[in-house]
């Protein structure tokens, strides 16, 4: 998937299929922790989205932080709670999926900075720009889904990928 390579219809399908795959993992207590375009494959024959690379995933029974002081994941796609080494649940993956969708629809990331600490600070403190202010032609409902996924507080995001 390249930046801004998806139509709203294709992005809707991608977000739905990835959200369902994440809901399946979350339902089994697994948080991916590295949802990003490189870990989403699009099957050539069907266009179906497949979530890959569960290499740093955690089961919710493993409630301790992997390594205090070490952040696991990809900074551009990291949720605020992940950026601050807080406990994670599936809503963290939905934040990351929101960034993937934002990128797919607008051709840019919602946050960027000169350094990783600066980028993580933006994830923690700055609201994401509403998708509709960055790109035109995205259906209002789809833009609303992306915007909700990018809310700072996990409780304000969708409770599950199925939702």
Residues belonging to the active site: 34
Six-digit token string for 139 = 């259906």
As a whole number of angstroms, the distance between CA 128 and CA 147 comes to 8
* Distance of alpha carbon 113 from alpha carbon 124, whole angstroms: 13
**27: which residues sit within 8 A by CB, 6+ positions away?**
none
């Amino acid at each position: 998937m390249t930046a801004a390579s998806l139509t709203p219809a294709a992005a809707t399908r991608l977000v739905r299929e990835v959200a369902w795959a994440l809901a399946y993992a979350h339902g089994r207590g697994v948080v991916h922790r590295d949802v990003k375009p490189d870990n989403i494959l699009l099957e050539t024959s069907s266009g179906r989205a497949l979530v890959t690379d569960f290499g740093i995933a955690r089961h919710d029974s493993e409630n301790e932080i992997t390594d205090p002081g070490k952040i696991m994941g990809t900074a551009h796609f990291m949720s605020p709670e992940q950026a601050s080494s807080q406990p994670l649940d599936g809503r963290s993956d939905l934040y990351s999926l929101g960034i993937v969708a934002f990128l797919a629809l607008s051709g840019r990331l919602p946050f960027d900075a000169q350094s990783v600490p600066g980028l993580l600070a933006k994830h923690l403190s700055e609201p994401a720009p509403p998708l509709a202010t960055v790109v035109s032609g995205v259906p209002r409902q789809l833009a609303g889904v992306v915007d909700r996924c990018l809310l700072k507080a996990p409780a304000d995001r969708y409770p599950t990928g199925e939702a």
